[in-house]
Each structure stands twice: as structure tokens, then as C-alpha cells.
Structure 1
Amino acid sequence: MAAGSARAVKRGQNGLPVEVTGFVGRRHEVAEVKRMLSMSHVVTVTGVGGVGKTRLATRVALDVRRAFPGGVWLIELATLDRPELVVQTVAETVGVSSRVSSRPTVEVLIEHLVGRSVLLVLDNCEHLLAECAVLVDTLVRALPDLRILATSRQALGIGSEQTFDLGPLPLPLPPSTGAVGSPLFAEPVDESDAVRLFAERAAAVLPGFQLTEANRETVAAICARLDGLPLAIELAAVRLRALSVEQVLERLDDCFRLLTSGSRAAQTRQRTLRASIDWSYDLCTEAERLLWQRVSVFRGGLDLEAVEEVCSGDGIAREDVLDLISGLIEKSVLIREERQRAGVRYRLLDTIRAYAAERLAESGEENALRRRHRDHFRRRAARARAELFGPDHIVTSLRLREEQPNIRAALEWSFDEPGEARVGLEMATDLLYHWRAGYQVGEGRRWFDRGLALDSEPGEVRARALAAAAWLAVIQADYEPAAAMLAESGAIAERLGLKHVLAYVTTYSAMVAMGRGEIDQALRLYQQAADDHRAARDPVGLAVVLNRLCLVYGLRGDDDRATAAGQESVALCEEHREQWHRAYAMTALGLEAWRLGDLRQATVREQEALRCLDRLDDLPGAGISLEVLAWTAVSEKQFERAARLFGVLDRVWQAVDASMSEFGCLRRYHDECEALTLEALGETAFRAAFKRGAKMSYGEAIRYALKEESPERPETAAVPGRLWPLTRRESEIAELVAQGLSNKDIAAALVISQRTAEGHIEHILDKLGFNSRTQIAAWLSGRTRDEAS
């Protein structure tokens, strides 16, 4: 292919294409690439196909063009198929003819550019990586005034290069997630860049299209399903010529068939989503392609251990896995993520995973890989059960939380594959504390229901599963099903002589009695269970029972025994360096301290427990600690604080889907304290404080309960004219933005330069996480309404 056959585009001044569609979002990315370009001779924007590298580079070049009086040029390399054409294409784009001299073209090019301040934008370097790297390195060494901005799915790999990895567009938070996973703690989210891009492109193909309350959630779901990839979103929007947004969403399960109608003027690989990913696939080695196919069995993310165990063998040596992962990361196929809880993990965008899954299915390896995937996470679940009581419990639990999508996939395969239901049921049982500690109580019950229906063999697996499922039912105050499952579990355990299972049947039966208010029966069963767990030398079961005995003895007024049971649990946990069960012991002891009037000790113990339970995202446990802290606030006559905590608790128990969960016997304390608070504050003040508590995010609520930070942040609220988290000057400028003043008008009003005003507005947008001035105005209006109410 000759260089002159490269795709023609309509160009404006400085050799850049004219933007014919609006540029949506990417404010932070544009600013960062501009900053990098001011400090480095070579900046390469990397990222997966369809993520918008070319548009970003072009926008940056347009923004900085005045800084390059020698010219700004876009050199498109995607259509070149011979390495020797790279230098020739660059030369001809900037106006150098290679035919007028017998010297090497690169020498003529350097001579042409010497002494000129020039920016070259090399677009799509990945398939000619070595040639581009050599040319760029040669040019920047010879031309100190030259800057090069490259786009590539893989970095050039030269010493003078800085790389910027461009991710997908930000997505709105899905309605099913919030601050820590609960829909009831989700923050209202303004329209994301992904949604705005869809809306803009949809309006172009369907005049009159607008985001409305009726379609907003569907559009957000489309953008989420497409990972925020601009190319995929634009192709989906085009389909509105023939489909409704609901129909587009329904058909995205086969996204590669649906997303095939891009612009005819676009390069072939940009007309369909499949063609874009085909381009990346062709850049990979055979071993990289094989690994890419195999990692498609993972969901959500994966770590190195999982890849080595599941994907090695049959063409991939275990010792080669790390290098292959690195290659896929360099080619923008795998995304590397560093998690505070789980260390380094890798992720495939869903569209990239779906492409590889098709390839895996064609290879005939899919079912074998799905089994290996299931077996890996079955072992992880068994390891979590083995580490349930000790120093590794919290870390193991948090890491397992990262694997929730993989756990779902493993259980799904087990219950779909003939003959594998019992393995899935055993895995679900090993994950009992995983379901218990997080927001997955309802999901855990659904997996148990499914597994128990598929495998009715009355053996040890079923007995354990029935008992575990019963505890989850107790947490949701569903006592009748819990009692029935415990009866069946107990019968199987009696017949098979499973004493360890019988001990848990007794424990959970005591919880059922406690939930029903049968305190004497609960006490008798807990005492029996304690003896059984001691005989079995089971510290997990014993700690659970001791914590509940502390509560039951306290309810009966037997304070010495209550304190003794709680302290024995603490000692047991400390002996094993166990933190989670210790937190429950501190909760029980804090309640006992409150009952005895030791309010300082009650607060100290509950806050200590809350910190641990918050780390584990254990909402039911955190709810009880929050309850006792609210009751303590009432006893201290801090009624405003108590009312806010009651507002938080209202949402907590809605999230758990049961009033005070398995501790319903404590409900009378809640009712009495809430009634005292209402009487002290009066209806209007109580409802206002309650509402403020209910509006807190979960993180804010925890900090408030720990007295680490007030929701109004009084340390700043007291500063006149300041709106948290803005400085006083930023608050002043935000007010003017809300009034509709332009940057020029704001500068004139405050007697500052326009550039300074623009800088302040940039900082305001950064602090508030916004993308537009209208969002600042809406935020300010919302604050005004809240203060008025």
C-alpha cells in the first residue's frame, strides 16, 4: 500500500482534522496529557481498542496548537502495512517530498524540522511498533524543539517516553451498589460522561432524543454493559435508528452482532466492535491469544495465582504465565489494578472478555476451563473456612469479597452441569461467613435453595448446608423456614453421628428461639451448644455461642454471667488472634456496659467493634453496634445525635431486610430510646435530624458514629462564606458560576485574571467530581434547599 493511499480526512489549520462531532468528557485526561507533554518530548496514549485514544490526542493537539508555531500534524498510520512507509508517511504529511533528494528520508525530515517548534501526533502505532519507536527516538534526539504525541495499544518502549493509559469513560453507579454494596447507601450520581456521550450521539441519529426519567436507567445500563467504551457506545447509539433503548439493551448479549453499523467514512476496524478487537487479537502472539481465551472464564477480575492454576498447561507453561500476562497488559488487553485489600489484580473489560469467550467456545476447551475455574474457587472457599478463626480471617475474607463475580460463576457452572450440584452445595456451605458478613445474605440463601433442590442426598453435605442456610434465614428473621431446615439437618446428623453438625443445629436453634423472644429456651440451647462446641474443641462455634450468651444473660439481668461470657469470648479470640468474633464480643460487652450505666465504657467498646465490622462490611453486626451507640447517646441526653443515628439505622435494617436482624430480642431497647428521643426533641426537630442521618452515605455514618467527623464538618462550616470542601475563594466563585456568569465576567467581578478564574473553576470541578458548570449550579441549589429544610 502506498503512503498516499492513507485515509483522507478533512483538515483544518495546523494539519489537524476538523471535529465534526462533539467531544464529550475527558477533562481530567486532557489536562494530564497536556501536563505530561509540557514536561516530556514523547507522550504515548495507550489503551484498549475503541477507548478514544485518537480523539483524546486530537483534542490535546487542538488545545496546545498555539504553543507550536512550527506546526501541529496528525499522521495516521493505521492503514500502513509496510514498515518502510512509516518515515515516508511522516515526511509527506509535514510537507517533505522524499523524491527530491537521494539522501535517507529521515535526514531530509530532520533538516526540514530543525529549529522549529513542532508537535507530531502519530496515530495508531501498535502494528508498526518497532519502526515507530526507532523513528521517534531518532527524531527527538536530533530535534530538541520537537514534541511527539503517539497513540498505540502498546507503549513504544523508548527511554524518553511517558505513557498515559486511557481508560473507558466514567460510568454512573449501578442502582444495585452503593458506598459499601448496598442499594440503600447509593449516592445520587449525575449523568456520567458515558451517558452524556450516548445521549449526544443518539440525538444526532434520532432528532429530539433526550434523557428522561423513563429512559435514563436503561441508557446507563447500556453504557455499563459496554464498559464505557466510546466506540461501543457510539455504535449502540446508531442502532436507535431502528430500535428503542430497551431493545438495544436486550440485544447487547450479542453485542458483536448488534454493534456493526458505524460510519462508512471510518476506518474498517472502527466500523464494528468486533473489527476493533480483531485488530488487538492479531497483534498478539499465539501464546498470548491462548491465554486471552482462557482468562475469559473469569468474571470481575483475577489474580496471578488464579491464572497460573486455571490457565496453565496444554500449550502454556506455568512459568510463562507471568510474561504472557505482561504482554497482554502491554497490548491493552488486560487491565492491571492494584487493590488495597487484594493486591495486584487483572481485569478484562466485558466486551473484551465476551470476544475471547467466543474464541474459547470455538476451541472446544470451554467446559474443561470452567471446571478448572470452579475447582480453583472451591479450594479458595475451603481455605477460607479453614482460616475462619485466626489472624488471617479478615484478610482472607476481604480477598474473597473481591472474588464475588468468580464465586457466582463457579456456583452457576456447578448447578448447571449434570452431576456437579453436590460440589456446588459444599462450596456454598464453606462460604457461609462470606454470605453472612457482607451484603450477600439473600444471595447466599438463593444459592442454598438451588443446591438443596438439586441434590437431595441425605448425607453430611446436605446436613451442613441445611444448618448454614438456616442461619442466613435467621438473619433475615425468617424463623419458620429456619426451624424446618434445622429439624431436617438435625435428623440427618443424628442418623450419621455428626456431632459437630448437631452442635451448630443447637446453636442456630437457639438463635431461632431468641428471635422469637423465647429467652429461656434460647438460654438452655446456648448452654447446651457451648458444652458441645467445647467437647468438639471448636473455637468458632464456642465464640459464637459465648457472644450470644453474653446478650441472653444480660437480658435476664444476670450481669455477672453476662460479663463472664463476654470476657471468655474475648480471651478465646485473643488466644487465636481472631478479630471478627472478638468484635461481636465487644458489641455484647458494650451493650452490657450500657445496661449497667457505664456509658463511657459502652461507647469505647462499641466504637472498637464498629471499626472492625466496618472493615469487613458486616452490616448486620455494624447495625447492632450503631444501635448501642444511639442508645448511649440517648442516655447522655445527646438527642440530636441519637436521632441522626436512628435515621442511619432505618436504612441499615432496610438493607439487611430484617428489623435488627437476628437480634430482634433487643428491639424493645430501640423502641424505648427512639420514643425518648422523639419526646425530647419534638416531632419537627426529630424528623429533621432523622432525615439528615438517613441521607448520610455509609462512610459518613460510620465516621459520625465514631465521632471522627461530623457530617457538617464544623471545623470548616464555621468559616463564613465557605462551602465544604471548597476554599472561601472557590466558594465565592461557585456562587458566581451558579448565577450564570462567564469566566470573563467572574474575573472582572473579583478583579483577577481570566486565567486565574479558569484555574479556580478547574479546582472546583476536581474537588466536587463534576464535569460541567451546570453541575456546580445544581450542587449549590441542592445545598440551599437542604439548609432551608
Structure 2
Amino acid sequence: MTAVITSTSRGRQMGRLPAEVTSFVGRRHEVAEVKQLLSASRAVTLTGVGGVGKTRLALRVGHEVRRAFRDGVWLVELAALQCPDLLAQVVAEALEIRGRTAGAPMTVLTEHLRDKQALVILDNCEHLVGECAVLAETLLRAAGEVRILATSRQAMGLVGEQVVPVPTLSLPECPEWDVPRPWLGAPVRGDPGEAVRLFAERARAVLPAFAVTEDNREVVAGIVRRLDGLPLGIELAAVRLRALSAQQLLDRLENRFRLLTGGSRAVLPRHQTLRALIDWSYTLCSDKERLLWERASVFAGGLDLEAAEAVCSGAGIAREDVVDLVIGLVDKSVLLREDHRDGVRYRILETLREYGRERLLASGQEDRLRRRHAGYYRELAARARAELFGPGQVAWLTRLQVEHANLRTALNTFSAAPSGAETCLSMATDLLYHWITSYYLGEGRGWLERGLAAGEATGEEVRARALWAGGWLAIIQADIPAATALLRESRRLGERLGDESVLGYVALFSGMTAMWDGRAGEAIERYEEALPRHRGTGDPIGLSLALVRLSLAHSFLGESSAAVAAGEESLAISDAYGEGWHRAYTMMALGVEVWRQGDLARAAELESQSLAFNRSMGDWQGVGITVEVLAWIAASGRQCQRAARLLGIAQNVWSSLGAAMSGFGHLTRYHDECAALCRETLGEAGFAAAVRRGGRLPCDEALAYALQEDIPGRDGNGQGEAAPLTRREREIAALVARGMTNREIAASLVIAQRTAECHIEHILTKLGFSSRAQIAVWVGERARQAESGGEEPGGERRDSRNRLGG
């Protein structure tokens, strides 16, 4: 495996790692050691005290080795997870396995990773060390090319596990530094050590003019020594330079540690050193800031100002004072400010959150604050549901995704309360669109099943609504028997209650189960039963959903005018409310019918608009079905190379969802006809190669290809202009045109043969070609253009159109 760490992957997905927002200081030895161990071992655990930088080290290693893992490097953050039973589900969500199969999360996870070459970073395992060990061992046994990098305060105890104790940052070896360090300001002598470099970097973020000089170097060295080179301690201390001089800071560190330790710090565990630091930071806060710190510890995954005001105010904190207290805690680095698409949020480091939680528990206020937290997010879920069908839809769904950890914590609070089952079930039902449009469908179904299992502890109205919601999730997961059973019970309760809304949704989703089984006539009857019920209750969501499905059903039976009429009515409803999600699915349905009528350009336009919206929402069910339809349209236009690649892209989407044609199984015949036509046109080998190339495209590139965003021009064969080749790719293309083999190209350029092969694959993908001969023709055409003045110096075409048909 040693070679793997230095290889270059052509994988389709590089995973999800957060960007580094501050400089990474030091750790060269540790980074190299962890990379080497990952080459030889499949499980590596970084251990050490809280605040020592285990997570940061793991992320840096992940960034440096990501090209060695074909299927990506994935971060799984476990700090906010309180329920061990959700561990496998959380890992699946972090890997963007959308959980749309009905299987157990661990089964879904192992099946997904079985043939993957990926690195999974399990971060903050210490509170779930036993469960993480079982999960890691299960994954390693099931997936031979998966590696795990874990961070924990203790080793997991896996067979073959390599444990790397993460030390504190290196300290100045002696007072004399004789090597110039211009980045620190004035030249100083000697190696300052990693701890000093970190302090200088963070201090300069607070005071841009700060520098380590001859005058203050001893004071700085004293500060980092007092903090034992602990990164978190250094960063918290550097913030105090806003108000203190370096000498004042050192003086207070000295006094504070003497007070807290009562003796030599050398005999105390490093954890006690961290606690002393946090105690010191705590005492520097005002009484109200300390109170807010404690109360903020009930949040998971961060909070915004509105949540802080709602949950943390009262009993000593006026609501209007919360904003100033938040600013104070941000200044003291207790809360970290983060910019999100929906606004500013605040994150509290897990070590500080745990400290605040202990203080809150000691005060006897934890239960009260947890109830307030749960109540706030219960109301948030209800507001999101009430305002879902309208111009604020995208903002609400985005906000729910950001707040997912808090929503989960609130559901857990209600679930654990003796009389909270009904509230938990109602909240889980309100979050229905959150489960569907994000990575959490499997978890959402789990919450509904847990609440429904409470039986008589939940009221009939709440239960009836949860049953049809669970039925929809089961349909998306292709679990039709479960969906049928849930809808049957929901209908029984709806009839008993005389609830038209419940009966409308039961009819709607019963129509979907009928379509799944190919009973289109029966499905139309159910949809037409649902329409007057939703009109009668004034429910635009149910009405729009029923019309979309009615349009698809009529189209399936060849009833074009009825299909278009239903689709146009659905569009009118969405437009009247300024709504986007149902509108996107309506355009998809209309695109299918317009394609069947032979208007390929209009059909492609409808599907592309739908795909663009679904991409922005991260709705992969919508992405999958629109890419599928675009493939059918391309095949109908005899663009079989493009169609096959789109099928490869769609195949990846369906694989990640765990269900082919998720929710649209009745359209499978169109997929089969498209694949058959492409095989006939391209040949079996050519078809397989094109599908493979589509499947190898990274996610962003794949969707850009589907939307033809990198194809500003078209030629007579409908092939788009190729994305520009890099300088190296143009060089390799020229060697291909000379008839050189991959081995000869590698030897000529002094690169690995595998690297040459990767470059050629990229060239074929960018140009839309399936053979090396096409590359040779393309190179010749470019040479002729250059001779006739059609190419700019440096090899870029003036002509925006690719004249070759691919």
C-alpha cells in the first residue's frame, strides 16, 4: 500500500473535508508518521488530551493523502452524537449514503463501502469508543480497501490498530535562538519551536503588528512553556492580547496555575492542565458570560443568535443582553463565529462545551435548559412545515440541514421523556421534507417508527399523519410492503377521524404504490381521489404532489393531453406561491411527456431547469431522475456517447441512494430502451467504456456535464465543445497522436505509467471521445487550425466550436 499514498487517483468523488481556515503550524513529523502508518495499516488512531490538535492533524493528513483514495476521504464528526444506536446512521450520512434502502444502517454502510477505496476519519470517538471499535472492525472486515483514521482520547483496541500519541507542540529548546525568522518580524536567534510559531501566528491575527522580537521572545517562550505547548491553550491565550500585554499575560498564567495546581504541575495529568486553562478562561468572563457559556452547552453542532436568545435568556440574562454576551464570548474564543449561507452561526469547541455542561449540571439547571432547547427546535420544525410551500422554501430547508444536530438532540430529548412520545412523533413528521431532501431519510424513518411503536401514547391525529409520512419514506426506499401496511392503518384512522387531509395523502401515496406495481389505471383513480380532498382542505402541497404524479401516470399510458394539463396546473400552483421544489419535479414530469412527443430541445430545457434546482438543494433523488431523462433525450437524438455517459452518472446517483430509479420505478422501461439503443450504436465495449467514463467524473463535473455548463457551443452531431485541456494533457495528446503507447509516453515524460493512463482518461472524458484514434484526429485538426491562424499562441482555439463529432 506504500505506493498508494503517493499515487494520483482519478476517482469520481474526493469526499468531504472542511477547508483549513487558519494556518497549520508544525507537525511535519506527525503528518509524515501518520501517512506512513496509513500505508501499512488499515486502522490508525490519534490519541491525546483534549485540545492537543488531534482533529486538526487528522484533517491535514486527510488533505495530503486524498488523491491516494479513489473514492475519497470522508470526515465523520461524532462529538455531537449522544445516541450510540445512531452511530452507523451518522457515518452513513457523513459518507453521503442517502439511506434510501430499507436495510439496517450498518448493512447499508458495509454494502456501500464493500468495493470502495476510501479513508474514513472518525473524529472524537472517546465517548463512543466501544461502539466505534465495533463499527470500525465491521467496516474493515467487509471492505478490503477502506482505511480508518480515528481521533480519540483512548485507543479503540482493534486488532492491527496503530496508535499515534499526539504530543504537544515543540517548545524552545533554549533561550538563545540564532536562526533568522523573518516571518516572526525582526530576526531572532535559534529555533523558536512550533509552540512559539503558533502563538505568533494567532497573536498576529489579533494584533497585525505583533512580532516575536529580541525584546519579547523570552516572555513568549515563557507563555508557551506555561501552557505546555498545548494548541488550544495557546490559541485561547493569544486572544487575550486584545487587552493584555505579553508580560501581563505571562504574569496571570503564572498566578493562575499556582492557584489551581497547588503544587508542581509536572505531577498532574495533562488533562488537569487543560482544565486549569479552561478554568482560567472561565474566570476571565463576566458572570453573565459564564452563564451564557453554560447554557450554550446544550446545543449540538452550533447555534445562531435567534436560538441563543430563545434558549439562553431569562433567569439572570435579559433577552436584549444576549447579543452583547455572544460578542464577548466570541472575543474570548469561547464561541467561534462561522459564516453560513443562511447567516452567521457560532460553534463552541467540544472541550469547552463539555466544561460548560459540567457547570450547568452542577447548577441544577441542565434539565430545564434541555427542555427549552427541545421546545425551541420543536417550534422551528413546525414553522418550517407551515412555511414550506412558498418563497422561503429553500432557506428553510437549508436551515434545517444546518440545524440537523440540534434537531436530533431535541428529538432525543422528547423520546427520552416519559410523556414525550407524541411530541417526538409530531416533530419527526413535521420534518418530512428535511428527511427527503437531505442525507437523513433513513434516520427520519427511524424516528417515525420509534414514535409509532409507542402505540396509545400518541394521539390518533398525530399518529395518522405520521403513518402516511412513513409510508412515503418507505416508497422512496422501495419498501412497498411496509408502505402499504402504513398507508392501510393511516386510512383506517383517517376514516375514523373524518380527516380529509389524511385521506388525501393516503390516496396520493397509495397511487404511488400502484404505479410501482405497474397498475397505472388504479394509480390514476387514487390520484384523482386525492385531488378534491386536497382542494377542499386548501393544501397546495398535497395538491401539487398529486398533480405531478397524475401527469406521470397519464404520460405512462400515452394520454398526452391529460399529462400536460396536470403538469401545467401543478406549475401554476407552484408559481402562485413562489415555490421551487415541487415546481422542479413538475418540470421533470412535463419533460418526460414532451420528450415522448418528440420535442427533444424543449424536453432537455425542462429537465435541465429541474436538475439545476435539485442540484442547488442537494436533492439526489431529483438529480437522479432528471439525469436519467436527459440520457433518454440524448439517445433519442442519436447522441449515444453522451447518453451512455449520463447513464453512468445516474448509476452513481442511484448507487448512493441505494435504490435504482428511487420512487420512479415505473419508468424503468425507458432506461432499458435507452441502454439498448446505446449498446446497438456504440457496441457493447464502447457502451461500457462511455458509462464507465461518466461514472468516473467527480460529482461537480458530472452535473456540469449533464447541464452542459462546460459546453457553450454545439456541432452538427450535438456534441459539445470540450473543456480546455491542461498544458500537460495537450502534451500527452500530441504523443498519442504520434502513436506512442502509454509506457512510451511515461518514459518520454519521466512519469509513472499509471499517471500517463490517468491523463489519457481525462483527455478522453474532456473531449467526449472513446478512442485514442479520435485524439489523434483532434490533434491534427488543431494543428491545421493553428497553421491557418485559428488558434491563439499557447494552444487555445479562437473558434468556440469543436468541429469534430466525437
Q: TM-score range by the shorter chain?
A: 0.5 to 0.7
SS where residue 355 of structure 1 aligns? helix
Q: Which residue of 2 aligns with 1:645?
A: 646
Q: Which residue of 2 aligns with 1:589?
A: 590
Q: How does 1:714-753 map to 2 (within 5 A)?
A: 714-717=722-725, 721-722=729-730
Q: How does 1:274-673 map to 2 (within 5 A)?
A: 275-284=273-282, 285=285, 286-340=287-341, 342-456=342-456, 457=458, 459-673=460-674
Give the deviation of 1:23 after TM superposition: 6.7
**What do the CA deviations read for 1:92-146 (whole angstroms, capped 9, x no partner)?**
xxxxxxxxxxxxxxxxxxxxxxxxxxxxxxxxxxxxxxxxxxxxxxxxxxxxxxx
Call closer, same or farther: CA 1:263–1:358 in 2, change over 3 Å. Answer: farther
Call closer, same or farther: CA 1:507–1:695 in 2, change over 3 Å. Answer: same
CA distance in 1, matches of 2:444, 2:142: 33
Between 1:687-696 and 1:346-355, the stretch displaced more is 346-355
CA contact (8 A) 1:293 1:359 kept: yes
Paired amino acid for 2:353: R
CA distance in 1, matches of 2:373, 2:327: 21
Call closer, same or farther: CA 1:431–1:690 in 2, change over 3 Å. Answer: same
Call closer, same or farther: CA 1:436–1:638 in 2, change over 3 Å. Answer: same
Q: Which residue of 1 aligns with 2:701?
A: 700
SS where residue 221 of structure 1 aligns? strand
CA contact (8 A) 2:121 2:150 kept: no
CA distance in 2, matches of 1:310, 1:625: 42
Call closer, same or farther: CA 1:374–1:558 in 2, change over 3 Å. Answer: same
CA contact (8 A) 1:260 1:272 kept: no
Give the deviation of 1:403 after TM superposition: 0.9
1:173 aligns with 2:102: no
Q: Which residue of 2 aligns with 1:220?
A: 149
Paired amino acid for 2:376: H
CA distance in 1, matches of 2:673, 2:497: 47
Call closer, same or farther: CA 1:570–1:194 in 2, change over 3 Å. Answer: closer
CA distance in 1, matches of 2:627, 2:117: 24
Paired amino acid for 1:398: T
CA distance in 2, matches of 1:267, 1:542: 67
Paired amino acid for 1:309: A
Give the deviation of 1:527 after TM superposition: 0.6
CA contact (8 A) 1:260 1:273 kept: no
Give the deviation of 1:435 after TM superposition: 0.9
Paired amino acid for 1:401: Q
CA contact (8 A) 1:179 1:187 kept: no
Call closer, same or farther: CA 1:551–1:193 in 2, change over 3 Å. Answer: closer
SS where residue 708 of structure 1 aligns? coil
Give the deviation of 1:544 after TM superposition: 0.5
Call closer, same or farther: CA 1:169–1:331 in 2, change over 3 Å. Answer: farther
CA contact (8 A) 2:729 2:760 kept: no
CA distance in 2, matches of 1:178, 1:300: 14
Q: Which residue of 2 aligns with 1:117?
A: none
CA contact (8 A) 2:119 2:146 kept: no
CA distance in 2, matches of 1:179, 1:779: 27
CA distance in 2, matches of 1:660, 1:214: 26
Call closer, same or farther: CA 1:382–1:302 in 2, change over 3 Å. Answer: same
CA contact (8 A) 2:448 2:466 kept: yes
Give the deviation of 1:479 after TM superposition: 1.0
Call closer, same or farther: CA 1:321–1:632 in 2, change over 3 Å. Answer: same
Call closer, same or farther: CA 1:219–1:623 in 2, change over 3 Å. Answer: closer
Give the deviation of 1:522 after TM superposition: 0.2
SS where residue 338 of structure 1 aligns? strand
Give the deviation of 1:551 after TM superposition: 0.7
Give the deviation of 1:402 after TM superposition: 0.8
Call closer, same or farther: CA 1:702–1:567 in 2, change over 3 Å. Answer: same
Call closer, same or farther: CA 1:551–1:21 in 2, change over 3 Å. Answer: closer
**What do the CA deviations read for 1:172-203 (whole angstroms, capped 9, x no partner)?**
523746796758799977899999xxxxxxxx
**What do the CA deviations read for 1:550-586 (whole angstroms, capped 9, x no partner)?**
1111111111111111111111111111111111111
Paired amino acid for 2:398: L
Q: TM (normalized to structure 1)?
A: 0.63
Q: Which residue of 2 aligns with 1:84?
A: none
Call closer, same or farther: CA 1:260–1:685 in 2, change over 3 Å. Answer: closer
Give the deviation of 1:298 after TM superposition: 1.4
Unpaired runs of at least 5, structure 2: 1-25, 33-49, 64-72, 76-90, 99-108, 125-139, 174-224, 231-268, 712-718, 733-742, 765-770, 772-806
CA contact (8 A) 1:187 1:697 kept: no
Call closer, same or farther: CA 1:473–1:275 in 2, change over 3 Å. Answer: same
**What do the CA deviations read for 1:11-30 (whole angstroms, capped 9, x no partner)?**
xxxxxxxx9983749xxxxx
**What do the CA deviations read for 1:275-317 (whole angstroms, capped 9, x no partner)?**
3254134223133232222222211121111111111122222
Unpaired runs of at least 5, structure 1: 1-18, 26-47, 57-166, 196-210, 227-231, 250-257, 725-734, 747-773
CA contact (8 A) 2:122 2:149 kept: no
CA contact (8 A) 2:594 2:600 kept: yes
SS where residue 344 of structure 1 aligns? strand
Give the deviation of 1:245 after TM superposition: 7.7
Q: Percent identity?
A: 43
SS where residue 300 of structure 1 aligns? coil
Give the deviation of 1:780 after TM superposition: 6.9
Call closer, same or farther: CA 1:606–1:785 in 2, change over 3 Å. Answer: closer
Call closer, same or farther: CA 1:259–1:169 in 2, change over 3 Å. Answer: closer
Paired amino acid for 2:438: G
Call closer, same or farther: CA 1:177–1:417 in 2, change over 3 Å. Answer: closer
CA distance in 1, matches of 2:388, 2:668: 30
Call closer, same or farther: CA 1:464–1:723 in 2, change over 3 Å. Answer: farther
Q: How does 1:119-130 map to 2 (within 5 A)?
A: none
Give the deviation of 1:721 after TM superposition: 4.7
Give the deviation of 1:604 after TM superposition: 0.3
Q: Which residue of 1 aligns with 2:779?
A: none
Paired amino acid for 1:22: H
**What do the CA deviations read for 1:652-683 (whole angstroms, capped 9, x no partner)?**
12222222122111111111111111221112
CA distance in 2, matches of 1:510, 1:358: 53
Between 1:707-716 and 1:355-364, the stretch displaced more is 707-716
CA distance in 1, matches of 2:425, 2:591: 37
CA distance in 1, matches of 2:552, 2:417: 44
Paired amino acid for 1:344: V
CA distance in 1, matches of 2:146, 2:272: 26
CA distance in 1, matches of 2:141, 2:522: 56
Query: CA RMSD of the aligned region, Å?
Result: 4.2
Determine which structure has more spread, i.e. the larger CA radius of gyration. Answer: 1
CA distance in 2, matches of 1:193, 1:777: 34
CA contact (8 A) 2:389 2:540 kept: yes
Call closer, same or farther: CA 1:714–1:218 in 2, change over 3 Å. Answer: closer
**What do the CA deviations read for 1:395-438 (whole angstroms, capped 9, x no partner)?**
11111111111111111121122111110100000011111122
Give the deviation of 1:778 after TM superposition: 8.6
Paired amino acid for 2:383: R
CA distance in 1, matches of 2:148, 2:518: 48
Give the deviation of 1:392 after TM superposition: 0.8
SS where residue 667 of structure 2 aligns? helix
Q: TM (normalized to structure 2)?
A: 0.62
**What do the CA deviations read for 1:329-383 (whole angstroms, capped 9, x no partner)?**
222222211012x211111233332333333333322222211111111111101
SS where residue 346 of structure 1 aligns? strand
CA distance in 2, matches of 1:537, 1:393: 18
Paired amino acid for 2:654: W
Call closer, same or farther: CA 1:428–1:274 in 2, change over 3 Å. Answer: farther
Call closer, same or farther: CA 1:691–1:372 in 2, change over 3 Å. Answer: same
